[in-house]
Amino acid sequence: MSHLRFIVIGITDAPHPWFPPEVMEIIKEGKVFSGGKRHHEIVAPLLPEGAEWIDITVPLERVFNAYRLRSNAAKTIGVFASGDPLFFGFANTLKREFPEAEMKVFPTFNSLQMLAHRLVMPYHDMRIVSLTGRPWQEFDRALIERAPKIGVLTDKEHTPAAIAQRMLEYGYTYYNMCVGEHLGNPEKERVTTLTLEEAAGQEFAMPNCVILDGQTVERTGIFGIPDSSFALLNGREKMITKMPIRLLTLQALELPTKKVLWDIGACTGSVSIEARLLFPHLHVEAFEIRPECEAIIHENCRRHGAPGIEVHITDFACCDIATCKICDAVFIGGHGGKLKEMMAKVVRVMAPGGVIVMNSVTTPVVEQMTNHRPSSHQLWDEACRELGLRQEPPMRVVIDDHHPIVILKAHLR
């Protein structure tokens, strides 16, 4: 393949764009151009006669193949992209797909800059999140971290209304929403500032973007959620990992350096929620066998403002985990006598250096109640030996007059 050269030109939604003389000369001499359908409608009158246009549509592999096929005839491809092509833009995609290609970029203002300009709002302190073709993870993180000003790039699924509804559901009600539609198009441009309740019930024209302004937000959080604030399974207080044990468990999981936490036997979701709020960079997946716990976990997530926890109501020992993100931290809160099978299943998919933690109640009374079956601690030791896990010294904790808790921890070698 001949050496490719991309000229990436940023444009706004203006129907009659202005480009500097250097860009106009590039367009005049070009033979192959590319961009979205909307970009084509805008720049078509400026393209030279006979110029070829490659639509940027999914799947992108088809687009990339078209670029490669044209590389022999036309080594330079002019690409039109929205705003600043290096700001969550197509230039970044080209750099990943064609790392050896030469590239020159002519940016214009991105949509969030334009919206801030219309609002006369300083934006040097704005947290930027793209939801364009992306999941909610980074947006949820910005909310949990109480970012006072959040700029959001939207798409047809993550609309301003959907964003407002999600914020209201999880209690992030102290923001106003500023929406910019068709920015740069003098005939269609509209900028509105609304409450979240107002935005949740409206439709907005595409393309649009959002700035969430919550300058009054208090950056206060609770280190250790009180047990009394959780909805419980059948009102049973013992069916929750107590707050002091919960915090020690999270410490043992080494979560500041981890990416994906699996909470197996989540019950009320207390461990998942505490982890999500303390370490909002984490992707958290909660597994629970009891169907009645699903509503309880979701209720507790809403109570505590913890969006983004993926809940799986299933028997972990038998479920298909192929679609789950690869874990590097696992807490086993319940195993139903299938501990060794669960640990073997985890180890097969866990990232190198991963950590597994389990809390065990070990007293003679408990061992008698199991009718002489191996205790959880014994099963844990056997599984660690069989799977080649490196165990840490157990941590024995007593927080009340009930049974002591032993926090067990092992690393994948």
Question: Could you report the per-residue pLDDT of 347-367, keeping only the tens digit for each?
Answer: 999 999 999 999 988 654 455
Band of the pLDDT at 1, cuts 50, 70, 90?
very low
Q: According to the model, what pLDDT value does residue 359 have?
A: 93
When pLDDT is averaged across residues 273-290 and rounded to a whole number, the result is 96
Residues with Cβ within 8 Å of 284's Cβ and at least 6 positions away in sequence, in order, are: 260, 261, 263, 272, 275, 276, 308, 309, 310
- In 3D space, the residue among 291, 298, 280 whose CA is nearest the CA of residue 315 turns out to be 291
Q: What is the pLDDT of residues 21-63, one digit of tens each?
A: 999 999 999 999 999 999 999 999 999 999 999 999 999 999 9
Instruction: Supply the mean pLDDT for the chain.
Output: 91
Q: Are 339 and 332 in contact (CB under 8 A)?
A: yes
pLDDT at 224: 87
pLDDT band at 240 (very low <50, low <70, confident <90, very high): confident
Q: Residue range 90-102: average pLDDT?
A: 95
Q: Name residues whose C-beta falls within 8 Å of residue 182's C-beta, 6 or more positions apart in sequence.
A: 13, 188, 189, 190, 205, 207, 208
Cα torsion for 372, 378, 380, 381, to the nearest 10°? Answer: -160
> Coil, strand or helix: which one is 377?
helix
Q: Which two tokens stand for residue 134?
A: 């992306």
- Averaged pLDDT for residues 99-118: 96
**CA distance to 73, 121, 122, 155, 333, per residue, from 125 (Å):** 46, 10, 8, 23, 40
> What pLDDT digit, counting tens, does each position of 128-186 carry?
999 999 999 999 999 999 999 999 999 999 999 999 999 999 999 999 999 999 999 99
| 3-state SS, one letter per residue, for 209-265 | EEEEECCCCCCCCCCCCCHHHCCCHHHCCCCCCCHHHHHHHHHHCCHHHCCEEEEEC
What average pLDDT does the segment 377-384 reach? 94
Q: What is the predicted pLDDT for the residue at 370? A: 52
* pLDDT attached to residue 400: 72
Question: Which pLDDT score is estimated for 364?
Answer: 43
What's the whole-model pTM score?
0.88
Average pLDDT over residues 278-289: 96
The dihedral sign for the CA sequence 217, 221, 225, 226: negative
User: In this structure, are residues 93 and 86 in contact, taking their beta carbons and an 8 Å threshold?
Assistant: no
